[in-house]
Homo-oligomer: A and B are copies of this chain.
Amino acid sequence: MSDSVALDPVDLHILRLLQNDARTTYRDLAAAVGVAPSTCLDRVARLRRSGVILGQQLRLDPAKLGRGLEAMLLVQVRPHRRDLIDPFVERIRGLPETRALFHLTGPDDFLVQVAVTGTGDLQRLVVDEFTARPEVARVETRLIFQQWDCGPLLPPG
């Protein structure tokens, strides 16, 4: 299911371009890559079927939506058992403030990226949704000063 998929230079070129703009037309893609548009369509369909491409998402500016403050919450869940973790994850995933959720190794079990209106909203979120839960043993709050876009995801080597 999650084995690595063989990709040729055409596939890689397509993936690089679509990571910049997932709405690039197959015609433009074809011109840039140097194959026919129908070939691009074929390649992208194959990349979808093989699971390399999971989907395409809009990138939004949280500040423009009134969520001008972002933070990372490091959360320790004790006892660290599945019957406590699963409901915790479902609850946190469903919060409108949650942007990303990771289960990690190390002293903090979960990392949660949240977008809030300001420090008051952040305090409410931490106190009412995190530390209020009996399984949450500790929450460390780190504000996000800035975040950067990174290069496209490509195979190693």
Contact = CB atoms under 8 A, between A and B. Distances in A.
Contacts of A52: 60-61, 64-65
A63 interface: yes
A53 B18 CA distance: 17
Interface string A79-98: 00000000001000111101
B147 A2 contact: no
Given A57-B19, A99-B153, A101-B148, A64 B50 contact: yes
Interface in A97-145: 98-106, 108, 111, 115-117, 121, 140, 142-145
Interface residues of A, number: 67
B59 A55 contact: yes
How many copies, total?
2
Contact of A64 (B2, B140, B144): B2
A18 B22 CA distance: 12
Residue of A58, A99, A147 contacting most chain B CB atoms (<10 Å): A58
A77 interface: no
